[in-house]
Amino acid sequence: MPMRTLFLVGTFIFAVQAAQADSAGTYLFKGAEYGDFYFDSLEGEEPDEVFEFETDGTLLIHGEGKSEAYIQTLDEYENYEVSFEYRWPGEPGKSGIQIHCTSDTSFSIWPECIEIQLEYENSGDFWLLNTELEVEEEQMPLKAADRNRRHRLKIEEKRKYGEPPIKVELPADQWNRMRIIAKEDTVQVYLNDHLINEGKNASTNSGYITIQAEESDFVIKDFRIRELD
């Protein structure tokens, strides 16, 4: 094959690979360094005491026995999709993905934001930290202590008579897949390909993205951010 043809074929393959990478989004933690993020903790832990980046882009959160902490992107995002898989390697606890974050603090160390809760059997709930988001009446909390919480949707799966209900959320030690779509003033949350929460008329539609450590060990892999048209 002539050299020019080889060059053109190589260029085409590279272009296809680049297009595929763009369509899949940016892997946030592949090749990441601590200087790529803003970090804060309640009791002064160092970033590498709580968060560990593996070479394949997996994020290990060593939260057990440590205070609350987070890492946050240095860039702000608007109109985007976040996708990842997660699980608890031990006793299930809490974590969360906070979107549309500002540089102002809501309470404790947490920024003003819309938080998507990661908590076994409650993953996908919204927490509104100095923000507003409209949801269905059935999603509003009944307890005063949960006044900033917006419960996820109740999923009704079609099944044959006598069969047990289908659980959207897999056991805590298995990989669950989540997608968060933030477009204009709407936020949608998918868990294992099921729409489990949706809010509209958000009071904010852009900001930083934050990953929480809440005193439990937690694993996130294939964390991607894809900008939407």
Cα-Cα end-to-end distance for the chain? 40
Q: Could you tell me if residue 16 is inside a domain?
A: no
Write down the pLDDT at residue 12. 38
Which CATH number characterizes residue 144's domain? 2.60.120.560
Tell me the residue range of the domain where 136 lies.
Answer: 33-227
What is the pLDDT confidence band of residue 43, given thresholds at 50, 70 and 90?
Answer: very high
Give the distance, in angstroms, between the CA of residue 180 and the centroid of all CA atoms in the same chain. 7
Say how far apart CA 228 and CA 77 lie, in whole Å: 10
Question: β-pairing, 176-183 with 186-191?
Answer: antiparallel
How many Cα atoms occupy the beta-carbon half-sphere of 134 within 13 Å? 5
Q: Could you tell me if residue 10 is inside a domain?
A: no
- Asked if the model's pLDDT at residue 8 lies above 70, the reply is no
- Asked if the model's pLDDT at residue 5 lies above 70, the reply is no
Say how far apart CA 89 and CA 60 lie, in whole Å: 10
Give the distance, in angstroms, between the CA of residue 106 and the centroid of all CA atoms in the same chain. 19
Q: Degrees (nearest 5) of the Cα angle 126, 130, 136?
A: 40
Write down the pLDDT at residue 158. 52
pLDDT digit string (tens) for 148-171? 999 999 876 555 666 666 689 999
Write down the pLDDT at residue 165. 66
What does pLDDT average to over the chain? 89
Domain count, the chain: 1
Q: Could you tell me if residue 13 is inside a domain?
A: no
* Single-letter amino acid code for the residue at 156: E
pLDDT digit string (tens) for 124-141? 999 999 999 999 999 999
